[in-house]
Amino acid sequence: MLVRNLFRNYLTGPIPSFIGKFTSMQYLSLSFNPLSGLLPKELGNLTNLLSLGISSDNFTGSLPEELGNLTKLQQLSASDNVFKGKIPAYLGTMTNLEDIWIGDIINGVSPLAFISNMASLSTLILRNCKISSDLGAVEFSMFKQLKLLFLGNNSLTGKLPDGISSSLKVIDFSYNQLTGSIPSWARQNNLQLNLVANNFLLDTTSESTLPWGINCLQQDTPCFRGSPEYYSFAVDCGSNASIRGSDDTIYEADPTNLGAATYYVTGQTRWGVSSVGNAIDAKNIIYSSQPFQNVVDSELFETARMSSSSLRYYGLGLENGNYTVLLQFAELAFPDSQTWLSLGRRVFDIYIQGKLPDERVIAVKQLSQSSHQGTSQFVTEVATISAVQHRNLVILHGCCIDSKTPLLVYEYLENGSLDRAIFGDSNLNLDWVMRFEIILGIARGLTYLHEESSVRIVHRDIKASNVLLDTNLIPKISDFGLAKLYDENQTHAWGLYEMDQALGIVDPSLKEFDKDEAFRVIYVALVCTQGSPHQRPPMSKVVTMLTGDVDVAKVVTKPSYITEWQLRGGGYSSNTTSSYAWSSNPELSRQKEITEVSLQVR
């Protein structure tokens, strides 16, 4: 197997250690999944890897030393996780690396000198990595291929280098401790350079070298010191013209299309904005043609500014005192455009909290046009589903079909989805006892749908994002009866089961758990995925198996959907020819295309 692209597949749990057996693999992308736990040292066995993507997951711990074995690696994307400790020194010996994305390391102090021998670098992103070093420790003129350099949000000191490679087009040194003056290379045409929030000494020459206003965006904010002029400002983000609000507030225009490392200060020096990061597309201002109803000053919501990494607005020359900051947002959805697709939206992904006239709090979901049903069929099905009520099912109040993208109106559940509680930024700490009760609740809800309701409903898309938690952590299944309208996304634990490592899928953050209960949960899940209906137990029996009242049958057959998935070209088949192209995500921005790939697994 040469390629495994699992980008944005909603995979959960840790990376299994048996991944180290795929030693012929050259490209592995696991980014944008709710994966978690430590990186297995067995990744170091993949010595033929050319590209490794593990960004925007939930990995913890440090980058294992064994990754230093990947001497052929050309691309490493490991940002937006919860890694700890230093950036490993062995990266400096991996001289074939061309693109590095590492960010958001939560502790540990790293030097920058490890990059000194990495002459092949084309992209280097080390944002918020706790790098504490004098910038003079690196000779930046030696990087003849380097085009993009992001070193913002660190603790870099010293002066800007006297010279840089002419290949550099985008540089971010923002939010460091840099001092001194601005060198002449900053005048290069087509160079994007963000130096905000440092301690540079800026004279008239320096200010003329850089875009207007950089002196006002240093850490000591020297503009208007001792003589403030303003006590408020308002901005209509991304707009081409100023707008007067209904309360007579003047919202200033914000039309400048900012690049990957740029800033802008208004001519009146009233406010500024800084943007860092490669935008999803060429523009970082988006426009909505959708009318906004039932809002005051709806024209304020027709534009928005996007940034893939950091977007900051600064008020300048303000009087000392306490201020009220008012941020107004509208949810912009573009189901018919490339913008919508590039944001990676799923079928149900837009949640809006509101209230009905009777004061009931509700959650509204927008339904994508990927539904294949007509309006009348959709309404009939929603009416059927809304009549189904159980302690472990989300209440569906109704729907709205006035637009091309129907809306579903659900009860509002304060603790959000189960996947957010386990993998996201939730403050809930679910121990094993709580999780086992949630599992039982889900099983009881499915039992009602399958066997007890007057209308038999098969969910077909049970996953953590489709389970919501109320204030008492009672699980409630959502989207039942609708999942059959959409493509399915399947993951499995069969490989671990075959290797007698079934407990490897248990969340490593659980320091204590009942192994017998965990085994039962895993075995029941595998029994429920058997191909023959005669091998799958009814949900009422599933509940009794989970509680231990009935023994769990031994799993002996590979779940049929795995075999079907493989036959469709998605899995472990030998001598299978396929076409593969990288997804449009940051770690794969160079758009490498691979054709005629032979998938071979031993």
The string of pLDDT tens digits covering residues 585-595 is 333 333 222 22
Q: Is residue 271 within 8 Å of 235, Cβ to Cβ? A: yes
Give strand ranges (E) for 297-433: 303-305, 310-315, 348-355, 361-367, 396-400, 407-411
> Which positions ≥6 away from 70 have C-beta within 8 Å?
43, 44, 46, 47, 49, 52, 94
pLDDT of res. 572? 38
Annotated catalytic sites, by residue?
461
Would you call 577 helix, strand, or coil by DSSP?
A: strand
Pair type for strands 192-194 and 243-244: unpaired
Q: Indicate whether 488 pLDDT > 50.
A: no
> Which positions ≥6 away from 335 have C-beta within 8 Å?
345, 366, 368, 369, 404, 405
Spacing of C-alpha 78 from chain mean position: 12
Q: Indicate whether 348 pLDDT > 60.
A: no
What is d(CA 539, CA 526) in angstroms, rounded to the nearest whole number?
13
Q: Indicate whether 493 pLDDT > 70.
A: no
Mean pLDDT to the nearest integer, 325-333: 60
Place of tokens 């590039």: 342
pLDDT of res. 351? 45
The string of pLDDT tens digits covering residues 213-266 is 888 899 876 788 778 888 888 999 989 999 998 889 999 999 988 888 999 999
Q: Which residue has the higher pLDDT, 46 or 354?
A: 46
Specify the pTM: 0.58
State the DSSP string of 208-274.
HHS-TTGGGGSTT--TTTT---BS---B-TT-SS-EE-TTS-EEB-------TEEEEE-TTSSEEEE
Burial of 292 (0-12, 13-18, 19+ CB in 10 A): middle
The string of pLDDT tens digits covering residues 436-468 is 999 999 999 888 888 777 667 777 678 888 888
Strands ordered across the beta sheet of 58-61: 36-38, 58-61, 82-83
Confidence of residue 425 (pLDDT cuts 50, 70, 90): low
Q: Which residue has the higher pLDDT, 353 or 12?
A: 12
Residue-range domains of the chain with CATH: 3-213 (3.80.10.10), 243-341 (no CATH)
Q: How many residues does the chain have?
A: 602
Confidence of residue 600 (pLDDT cuts 50, 70, 90): very low
Which residue in 400, 396, 378 sits closest to 387, CA to CA?
A: 396
Q: Give the single-character DSSP code of 76.
A: E
Q: Indicate whether 523 pLDDT > 50.
A: yes
Mean pLDDT to the nearest integer, 146-163: 94
The string of pLDDT tens digits covering residues 276-300 is 886 544 567 888 766 666 667 888 8
What is d(CA 129, CA 83) in angstroms, rounded to the nearest whole number?
10
Type of residue found at 286: I
